[in-house]
């Protein structure tokens, strides 16, 4: 069975629902994971998604900030929401697929929106950065999050860290910039290692090549200098590593009208 899955920080699902519809009509992923939906669950555009063929929707939203959602053609067996750092701030949702989706073996999908961390990379001076570091630590120590043995798990989302040198436009210039500081990179990679997760992008694209999924709104022209970062990730468990058949980053979406600063990232698996 082929499964296509997209992760996308949409930066307000209501503001950009037409862009989401444009993408869905073109790419037709089986599952779409959104971050920064920025709306309460009751305000989520459910009817629009159902008209587009996505009947199964799991939500964890809040007014004006954060928020994650999983939109699917396939039915879920269960859904779950976890809180991190004792904050109710809508940064995680997971679903399990099984018999209802005609999966021979269960598959668990986690969708994350890791805190951005503000602008100052000092946990004592900047509470937002302190929160981010603690969130990453909890991602590492949260045992139910991590697959073991033959578990078929996928973890996606805006993890807000570009962990490798060529995940940013300039490693040297961004070492003291939030999202690429050594401590953030170390903590994200430690969480990845704890779960024996495989980073699909870097399994398929050599570490020597530049790869980005985000370009700042602060630049008048995002294409000048191509100053991007790879903040959006898809990880798979060991049991799924050899099932990946395709991986795409839709860079063109950054040039759409009133775009998100992130672009869709899609994986296809033969499950």
List pLDDT tens digits, range 95-129. Answer: 999 999 999 999 999 999 999 999 999 999 999 99
Tokens of 64: 């004006």
Pairing state between β 198-199 and 153-158: unpaired
What does the domain layout of the chain look like in residue ranges? Answer: 2-270
- What per-residue confidence (pLDDT) applies to 22? 97
Dihedrals phi, psi of 157, to nearest 5 degrees: 140, 180
Sign of CA dihedral 260, 135, 209, 7: negative
pTM of the complete model: 0.97
- What per-residue confidence (pLDDT) applies to 247? 98
Report the alpha-carbon angle 266-81-97, nearest 5: 55
- What per-residue confidence (pLDDT) applies to 207? 97
Whether 219 shows a pLDDT value over 90: the answer reads no
Tokens of 111: 């969708």
Q: CA 148, CA 211: separation in Å to the nearest integer?
A: 29
Taking only the tens place, the pLDDT of each residue in 27-61 is 999 999 999 999 999 999 999 999 999 999 999 99
Contact 234, 157 (CB under 8 A): no
- What per-residue confidence (pLDDT) applies to 3? 97
Confidence of residue 220 (pLDDT cuts 50, 70, 90): confident
Q: Which fold has domain 2-270?
A: Deoxyribonuclease I; Chain A (3.60.10)
Residue 151: other Cβ atoms inside 10 A: 17
């Amino acid at each position: 069975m082929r499964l296509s899955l997209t992760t996308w920080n949409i930066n307000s699902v209501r503001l950009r629902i037409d862009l989401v519809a444009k993408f869905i009509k073109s790419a037709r992923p089986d599952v779409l994971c959104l971050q920064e939906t920025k709306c309460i669950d009751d305000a989520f555009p459910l009817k629009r998604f159902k008209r587009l063929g996505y009947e199964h929707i799991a939500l964890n939203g809040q007014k004006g900030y954060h928020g994650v959602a999983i939109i699917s053609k396939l039915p879920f067996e269960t859904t779950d929401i976890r809180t991190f750092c004792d904050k109710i701030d809508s940064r995680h949702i997971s679903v399990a697929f099984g018999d209802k989706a005609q999966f021979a073996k269960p598959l668990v999908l986690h969708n994350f929106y890791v805190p951005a961390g503000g602008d100052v990379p000092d946990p004592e001076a900047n509470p937002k950065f302190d929160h981010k570091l603690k969130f990453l630590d909890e991602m590492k120590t949260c045992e139910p999050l991590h697959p073991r043995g033959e578990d078929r798990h996928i973890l996606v989302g805006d993890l807000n860290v570009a962990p490798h040198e060529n995940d940013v436009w300039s490693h040297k210039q961004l070492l003291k910039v939030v999202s690429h500081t050594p401590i953030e990179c170390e903590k994200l990679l430690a969480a990845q290692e704890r779960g024996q997760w495989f980073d699909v992008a870097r399994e398929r694209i050599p570490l020597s090549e530049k790869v980005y999924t985000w370009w700042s709104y602060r630049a008048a022209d995002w294409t000048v200098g191509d100053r991007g970062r790879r903040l959006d990730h898809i990880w798979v468990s060991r049991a799924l590593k050899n099932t990946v058949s395709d991986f795409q980053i839709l860079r063109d979406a950054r040039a759409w009208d009133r775009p998100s600063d992130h672009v869709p990232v899609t994986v296809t698996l033969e499950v």
